[in-house]
Chains A and B, each alone.
Chain A
């Protein structure tokens, strides 16, 4: 009877003798680290090790859940501001047009990114588009320079395009965003960089799950004149009689500067919204992953616990049966 029980135990226990294949099948990320942590010669993984692992995964889950809620509340705050600022640049587009295809000699790409990480892939997409633009527009006559807002884009672009960077601005979101701050920034950019066309690359916030990388173009007044003469969308500009200043050129200059600061304001707000939204979804999938991992670890824990009980039983029974003879 005892021998039959032993044989049964043995059969049940046989898979456990080689822990490696099982754990490799069920949970490969678990296998290498757990193998490292248990001493050689032990036939199963100690419960203490699994319990430590479970504790740390649970902590991670709590942290990511909290980060998600923080991002959600920040998003709500900025979203109203972004929607209010959207109405502002539409008249500009209606009047001056948004011509991404304008062929100009000096392009300046303003890349807007976030300062903090853990926000999904939005910064990489912005940088990818900026680099693509650079490639498209670099040639014998044309050149492209970068103006970078935000740490993440700076880290990525400094590596390979260091000579093309004109201006780097970081820590934009230390104080809540407002128009005066951004207009001062726009002023700095306009003063220090010569440009024919400014391309602002940012992530437009369509909804909590969709952020579309967009490019807004702001043309310098001379180019606007040139395009207006060639007709097309900007041809309507001439039908407006321009008043209120010495010359038409001066008004157009002021208008272009105003347009740039408004478009920048909108772009910065939208990018901030996209950052919070992306962070929400990244943290959400993180906590879900942590939950899955916790489930698998719980199963492993129970298995090892039962295995250790079985081992003890076997030892006792085999000891007793040995005594009996």
Chain B
């Protein structure tokens, strides 16, 4: 029994094939989905999606969206994503540092919120690279 996973963004289809298991991060924590999961519709937080095919884990960094899990069909709709293998480690690390610096400098509620979001994005991307191994 395998799950059919499709990850879609407005610009392209990121992933569309069968997988064994996925680990998704939602607003209420990380959930792991195995075949024959109960149907749920959930919001996807900024985090990494881990996909397992045949004992090999793949990581994709997701930046917010929705997921619907039906009878062995998972549809994830995202605003923006990056495949773990496409991210340049040094650039992501730099982006993380810049985001942290920005957060410390931020003043005012709006800037703080934006800085926090940028930080989470950068952190997600760094995690995606580290988690490949």
CB neighbours (8 Å) of A244 from chain B are 26-28, 42-45
Say yes or no: B39 contacts A258, CB within 8 Å.
Answer: no
Tell me if A91 is interfacial: C-beta within 8 Å of chain B.
yes
CB neighbours (8 Å) of A95 from chain B are 41, 68
CB neighbours (8 Å) of A245 from chain B are 27-28, 43
* B27, B31, B41 interface centre (most CB from chain A within 10 Å): B41
- Cα–Cα, bound, A120→B44 (Å): 43
Interface extent on B, as a size class?
20 to 34
Say yes or no: A255 contacts B66, CB within 8 Å.
Answer: yes
Given A240-B40, A251-B42: A88 and B77 interface contact (C-beta under 8 Å): yes
Given A91-B75, A91-B77, A258-B65: A243 and B11 interface contact (C-beta under 8 Å): no
The secondary structure that dominates the A interface is helix
Say yes or no: B38 contacts A262, CB within 8 Å.
Answer: no
- Cα–Cα, bound, A95→B40 (Å): 11
Q: Identify which of A51-59, A79-87, A163-171, A279-287 touches chain B.
A: A79-87
Tell me if A254 is interfacial: C-beta within 8 Å of chain B.
yes
Say yes or no: B39 contacts A243, CB within 8 Å.
Answer: no
- Cα–Cα, bound, A10→B125 (Å): 93
* A184 CB, min distance to chain B CBs, angstroms: 12
CB neighbours (8 Å) of B85 from chain A are none
Say yes or no: A239 contacts B39, CB within 8 Å.
Answer: yes
Chain A minimum-CB-distance residue to B39: A240
Tell me if A179 is interfacial: C-beta within 8 Å of chain B.
yes
Tell me if B108 is interfacial: C-beta within 8 Å of chain A.
no
CB neighbours (8 Å) of A242 from chain B are 40-42
Given A91-B68, A262-B10: A251 and B43 interface contact (C-beta under 8 Å): yes
Chain B minimum-CB-distance residue to A92: B77
Contact of A87 among B13, B42, B43, B70 (CB under 8 A): B13
Given A95-B68, A179-B79: A84 and B42 interface contact (C-beta under 8 Å): no
CB neighbours (8 Å) of A266 from chain B are 10
CB neighbours (8 Å) of A88 from chain B are 8-10, 77
- Of residues 60 through 114 on chain B, the ones whose CB sits less than 8 Å from some CB of chain A are 65-66, 68, 70, 75, 77, 79
Say yes or no: B8 contacts A243, CB within 8 Å.
Answer: no
Tell me if A241 is interfacial: C-beta within 8 Å of chain B.
yes
CB neighbours (8 Å) of A81 from chain B are 11
* B104 CB, min distance to chain A CBs, angstroms: 27
CB neighbours (8 Å) of A258 from chain B are 65-66, 77
Say yes or no: A85 contacts B10, CB within 8 Å.
Answer: yes
Chain B minimum-CB-distance residue to A183: B79
Say yes or no: A243 contacts B9, CB within 8 Å.
Answer: no
A residues touching B (Cβ–Cβ < 8 Å)?
A: 81, 84-85, 87-88, 91-92, 94-95, 178-179, 183, 237, 239-245, 251, 254-255, 258, 262, 265-266
B residues touching A (Cβ–Cβ < 8 Å)?
A: 6, 8-13, 26-28, 31, 38-45, 65-66, 68, 70, 75, 77, 79
